[in-house]
Amino acid sequence: MSGNPIIYKPYEWERLRIASQFNAKLMDHLRPFVKPGVTTDEINEVVHEYTVSHGHVPATLGYMGYPKSCCISINEVVCHGIPDETVLKEGDIVNVDITSIVGGWYGDQSETFLVGEVSEDARKLVQVTFDSLFLAINTIRPSSSVVEIGEAIYGYATGLGYGVVRQYQGHGIGREFHTDPGIPHYPTSASERDILLPGMCFTIEPMLNAGTWKTVEDRSDGWTVRTKDNKLSAQFEHTILMTEDGPEILTLTKEGPQPGHQF
């Protein structure tokens, strides 16, 4: 984090929009490749080639030593899954998390895909995670406290029996990948003090687990995070710009699930 939250000037908002809209186009571009029989490395190659061919930079590649151009997290993997030779199979749920640097500005989002026909339990987890993101977005307004995001997600998800991951959170974004404020997806006393003002840009990215909220990091690679009980996990993420009129979702895709979508 870089210290105090950054409030971007109105003339900078278009830079945020351009980076985020490219990222959304990238998500739509990779969408057809998330299917049974495809390896996560192949999806990573699609992300890398599309980004570089447009003159932009995949933000995760080399970030704190991370070796790939996106994160792909399957089933019980909560986040930061490293693409490899793993083959997607019918019934998997898989989160693809992509971040692009466009002219020095960052766009960031993730989406959980259903691979073929999935179990009803998996489908419901994905639905509730998706709904919790938009519930939080629809809750906030200029001068909202960050804690309102956590209250909305936590209250909704735990009421349906899901665990809300606490170790990882949303974040400010713009000229840097991660800045203040942190955006926890459960209520904290610290987030009560953080106020969302017009010009602030940040991500909301709830991670919900079918069982416990607790997670374990894989010590063998230092990145992959799994649920402690090996039950399923899902995540959705958007980059949000707070304007005088309320939150603007910068990373909406044209072909992906829209607010109110039913999986």
* CA distances to 167, 191, 235 from 96, in Å: 19, 27, 9
Q: What pTM was estimated for this model as a whole? A: 0.97
% residues pLDDT > 90 (the chain): 98
Asked whether the beta carbons of 186 and 170 are under 8 A apart, the reply is: no
> Tell me, what's the pLDDT at 4?
81
| Closest C-alpha to 53, from 45, 43, 61 | 45
Pairing state between β 233-235 and 179-183: unpaired
As given in the structure block, the two tokens for residue 234 are: 């899902």
Q: What average pLDDT does the structure give for the chain?
A: 97
Query: Is residue 218 marked as binding?
Result: no
Pairwise CA distance, residues 133 & 236, whole Å: 7
Phi, psi values for residue 252, rounded to 5°: -60, 135
Tell me how far the alpha carbon of residue 77 is from its chain's centroid: 14
Scanning the structure block, which residue is given the tokens 């991370």?
66
Query: Is residue 238 marked as binding?
Result: no
Query: Is residue 80 marked as binding?
Result: yes
Pairwise CA distance, residues 52 & 172, whole Å: 25
> Tell me, what's the pLDDT at 3?
58
Query: Is residue 108 marked as binding?
Result: yes
Query: Is residue 97 marked as binding?
Result: yes
Pairwise CA distance, residues 122 & 95, whole Å: 13
* 128-186 pLDDT tens trace: 999 999 999 999 999 999 999 999 999 999 999 999 999 999 999 999 999 999 999 99
* CA distances to 9, 24, 257 from 254, in Å: 27, 8, 8
Provide mean pLDDT across the span 117-121. Answer: 98
> Tell me, what's the pLDDT at 25?
98
* CA distances to 28, 128, 251, 252 from 256, in Å: 7, 16, 11, 8
- Each domain of the chain, given as residue ranges in start order, spans 10-249
Query: Is residue 41 marked as binding?
Result: no
CATH number of 10-249: 3.90.230.10
Alpha-helical (H) ranges within the chain are 10-30, 40-53, 120-139, 147-159, 189-192
pLDDT at 1 over 50: no
Pairwise CA distance, residues 183 & 202, whole Å: 8
% residues pLDDT > 70 (the chain): 99
| Closest C-alpha to 154, from 143, 165, 144 | 165
Scanning the structure block, which residue is given the tokens 């490293």?
82
> Tell me, what's the pLDDT at 2?
45
* 225-253 pLDDT tens trace: 999 999 999 999 999 999 999 999 999 99
* 74-94 pLDDT tens trace: 999 999 999 999 999 999 999
The helix (run of H) or strand (run of E) holding residue 78 is strand 77-79
